[in-house]
Structure 1
């Protein structure tokens, strides 16, 4: 059945579900849990119950995150409707919303306590494996599914992920945890927190080690240390300081890559952050926030590439590849929240940011590339009639050497009843151009003669910021039968000037230009249009049994060169069960459609990874021994047939249709002790 027909059938079925559930046994009685909706901040920077948020928001709370047993934050987003997540190897997480992205996704803003973690050192993307944060640091994750630059800037082109950490005075005490298993897996974590007067402190340390996927060079060892301190200065003032760092060694490359352009090697990555925030809340509904952060990264990555045999270089030229890079981001932001009347609340703010990246090989010898940005933003909520709410806002944003853009958004929410909310919204946004996409100028020179052998990346100073216009309809319903809920989003996103990589002609005429094409980032000539539906259905059919079904379908209309960049469907089904006597379990099944993720290093080579199924499972037993809580767990990831998720196109070009990199199962035993 064609995808558009399946979408219509699914939409009709989903529309009948609320009526059926409302008519079910006990539906007329009031349900106490109707008051349990979480309050979210990420959608508008205003505290709003989930049913009043301007857009679709998924919340992953601490209890749910713990129940998964996951070691990697990036894997959690497979459990969010509309997200398309994959791994080229164990040390990478390709995390996107709808899949429309490059090799280094940057169309979805990723925050830790409101601090952006995008980095020029990661080619404008996020290195999920080296984020200086542990799973134990996380209180909850809010995922805004839909364009939101008005609130969090151009990287929120298609959505926002906000990882919110625990306050340092929450649940005083300590913990120790250890995981051990296959392949070569050993994790050790410890942490604790305490309070002295008006000051509290939390510290966490973690070491992760594993051998990665079978037959792939992707072993890793990651060390993380994080510290958060909070000081209550007065009844209305609080100061928060966060310090964190990570140090990682990761395997990369393939033994038979094309001209050794992705040879076997180890990557050393170091990441540090300092984040401080002052909060002044003179009365309910009013708050002034001032915060500053600095992110700093250093990456060491070198090897020697050997080109193909040619008349110019018998035996092949040797080209030193030096991808060492350093990046620093400084960011200052002021935000004020007000409640002018009983039925309105507003927030406004301004921010300035400076990025500096030093990578002479990636930018043709330039010592450093600097990008600066300024932004003014505002959102307002108006409850103009009982059950009716309008939330609107706009942001004025300008990047250095770019025209200023205004990004508006408007949402109307109608609470038709205590349990049913309908919403409609529209937004316009422009994406940030990662530094490498605009200025990347990679030149491969022979080590003995200095001759320019190849010009892998050609800069494009004429590259424009992409623009998206999105419209959506949404529904959030809660029902007494099975304590169930339904979250639906129907959308149309039209992207003009989508940025992608294609083959190009080098103006420098490298010696071996006829052997290997150059590449350049360009704007698509025609719009890319995504039309789709995604929904999440939660239900509890029996005591302590919670089920979550996520499903999304999307149709992509785009030029031939961009086809298959979006998987037409994704689905997941999770069953979380408490068995009593300390026993609990969680099983998740995933289905991902065919996907040509990212750009790859060979832009003219087309390859689509096949659809696959995979499963994750965890069973745990918790008990108290000597007054302390112990939890023992058995965890398994990627149960089932080995499969490919995201291909390295350069390597795949050597393998034809035989997958060059298959993910493999991971299994481990865990022990966690609360001190």
Structure 2
């Protein structure tokens, strides 16, 4: 047991990663046993009488069940990233923070493109995790069913904490919570009223200015944030980025029972995409301009007899202008001098969402919540839907969760959701968990959940055709509609442990999981009945369901240590074995990931943070090439931050020097179509980036 707290133990543990998929399972079993043994060791350490209040410091989380539950009582694994950790990391991109979460597989295809998934499997636009801001889904049909992390109308300064549910949670937040939930919770407007400003400048054209203003008086609070950022992306890539965000949150306490909240925000900018040597210019270098607007209102009523209800409405509106010309070489006899073919991904989308939720305590040992929601998505993208605009995508949903503490130290949390999407059968998504808390300092859980994946409308109805304008000849048909695609289903089982020990003031979170996915959706080559001219060079494709189950089996854990009073270590490690009967699908899951973060405070206001990330081989990401498989190689990257904070003339000041992507240049997320050209080196290696930041509070 003592050796588990020796740093050499964890160094050896990270070094013993699987060398190939054929060796993954024995190694995985060894690590599962190690993780469970460590949990038992922590439990033994926690058994002393002097640790009765260890879980008193655990946060109360709502994202898992919509019920206020201590983290150790929640029906599933949840990672809480608080504001202090976000500030200590100093990242400019929100998605980069998620690299520290066990099970997350995060990377960049270019400087302005973030690929965020849980347990991998995702293609170009990950959609298997529900992403929320204050409970509002940020998924949009205009991003092909995914999330554009670089364009979110949100500044990092607004964030209070992030709750990441690791495991299926469709019962609580719908079908996009297929593998988990990321809920970004903003600060209450009445928190820390005042003014603040920040400036950043650094390599690769990094520059930014942000400002915040907040006031609170007589029950009314409001906070205004503005943020402007730019950078030139990674060296050798066409990926400059410019973004501006303006947001406002207001909270008004009407009386002792009622509170109104309102958040409005907008973001806009431009970013470079594509490659200058893309085959036939199908993914040529270009610029996309985007605009995003959100309105989110909530009325919350606390009942005098206990419990509360809430009524919420939000609207998301997204617009993207993205057009370019592909160039054809001379092609006799049709185009003896070559030709220019106009292409575009111009698109807009609107989502309206109405939701009611009621929570109550039917007894002293139980609490429950139920709710209903209605949602409508509308998409306008003529070039992407050659057969005509898709109809409105409607969702109707009922959900409920119930917690019952039936004996001292024992509780169940059960729930179910009924949901129906337009054109789909009525689906039931159940969940049941049993939690055992044998002592205050450690907790065990076991549970099962089922979820159905909402199909992005593009995967079913996307139909892209490129014509030469003068002759009307069909040049390529890269996406072919397939109305037979079915919703994927996941059945997930897990065993978890959460404990704390006096040894190095440590806290351990372990999740062992087995996830079985039926009708997994992926993109494959197909034939086009319209005989495009470049059918061989640019093969048509469509989305289909895999004919065999995909299983993910593994272990993930996070260990927090305080080896001395001024330092903190955070270690995350994940091992996964994917089995689908297809190497191309299995390769979309990195078999291992690990991260180590060391936060250190020094005298006189100085502090430092170091994060080391190790990512296994991964084939997830952008592009499509049916003729060649491509897997990005494993890599290790290092991020550093040195900061000083203090007061100057009664004003709080913080100065920081930040660096990311240190070490050997590497590729994280590949564009498979670009890599199919067979060049000697990866087409999109990341670059080291260094910047200086100054923050001033008034």
Does residue 235 (structure 1) correspond to residue 256 (structure 2)? The answer is: yes
Residues 507 and 25 of structure 1: CA distance in aligned 2, closer, same or farther (over 3 Å): closer
Deviates more, 1:169-178 or 1:599-608: 599-608
Residues 454 and 25 of structure 1: CA distance in aligned 2, closer, same or farther (over 3 Å): closer
Q: Deviations over 1:480-525 (max 9, x none)?
A: 1111011000000010000000001012222332432101000001
Which residue number corresponds to residue 234 of structure 2?
213
* Superposition pairs of residues 601-612 of structure 1, within 5 angstroms: 601-612=624-635
Residues 513 and 23 of structure 1: CA distance in aligned 2, closer, same or farther (over 3 Å): closer
Does residue 526 (structure 1) correspond to residue 548 (structure 2)? The answer is: yes
- Structure 2: how far apart are the matches of 1:515 and 1:582? 60
Unaligned runs of 5+ in 2: 1-17
Match of 1:653 among 676, 680, 684: 676
- Structure 2: how far apart are the matches of 1:670 and 1:304? 40
- Structure 1 contact 27–481 (Cα < 8 Å) conserved: no
Which residue number corresponds to residue 663 of structure 1?
686
Which residue number corresponds to residue 50 of structure 1?
71
- Structure 2 contact 130–177 (Cα < 8 Å) conserved: yes
Does residue 576 (structure 1) correspond to residue 599 (structure 2)? The answer is: yes
- Structure 2 contact 300–310 (Cα < 8 Å) conserved: yes
- Structure 1: how far apart are the matches of 2:424 and 2:526? 24
Aligned residue for 1:489, secondary structure, equals: strand
Aligned residue for 2:300, secondary structure, equals: strand
Report deviation, 1:262: 0.9
- Structure 2: how far apart are the matches of 1:520 and 1:67? 44
Does residue 349 (structure 1) correspond to residue 371 (structure 2)? The answer is: yes
- Structure 2: how far apart are the matches of 1:330 and 1:308? 45
Q: Deviations over 1:402-443 (max 9, x none)?
A: 111000010000001111111000011110000100100000
Aligned residue for 1:6, secondary structure, equals: helix
Aligned residue for 1:140, secondary structure, equals: strand
- Structure 2: how far apart are the matches of 1:612 and 1:477? 31
Greater than 6 Å deviation, 4+ residue runs: none
- Structure 2: how far apart are the matches of 1:318 and 1:281? 63
Which residue number corresponds to residue 183 of structure 2?
162
- Structure 2: how far apart are the matches of 1:462 and 1:316? 38
Give the paired residue count. Answer: 675
Which residue number corresponds to residue 408 of structure 1?
430
- Structure 1: how far apart are the matches of 2:534 and 2:695? 57
Does residue 444 (structure 1) correspond to residue 466 (structure 2)? The answer is: yes
- Structure 1 contact 359–366 (Cα < 8 Å) conserved: no
Deviates more, 1:170-179 or 1:25-34: 25-34
- Structure 2: how far apart are the matches of 1:472 and 1:350? 28
Match of 2:560 among 533, 538, 543: 538
Which residue number corresponds to residue 262 of structure 1?
283
- Structure 2: how far apart are the matches of 1:401 and 1:674? 53
TM-score by length of 1: 0.98
Which residue number corresponds to residue 335 of structure 2?
313
Aligned residue for 1:461, secondary structure, equals: coil
RMSD of aligned Cα (Å): 1.4
Report deviation, 1:394: 0.5
Residues 241 and 603 of structure 1: CA distance in aligned 2, closer, same or farther (over 3 Å): farther
- Structure 1: how far apart are the matches of 2:156 and 2:26? 41
Deviates more, 1:591-600 or 1:230-239: 591-600
TM-score by length of 2: 0.95
Which residue number corresponds to residue 304 of structure 1?
325
- Structure 1 contact 27–480 (Cα < 8 Å) conserved: no
Which residue number corresponds to residue 532 of structure 2?
510
Aligned residue for 2:150, secondary structure, equals: helix
Aligned residue for 1:156, secondary structure, equals: coil
- Structure 2: how far apart are the matches of 1:58 and 1:657? 40
Which residue number corresponds to residue 125 of structure 2?
104
Report deviation, 1:122: 0.5
* Superposition pairs of residues 97-136 of structure 1, within 5 angstroms: 97-136=118-157
Which residue number corresponds to residue 201 of structure 2?
180
- Structure 1 contact 547–574 (Cα < 8 Å) conserved: yes
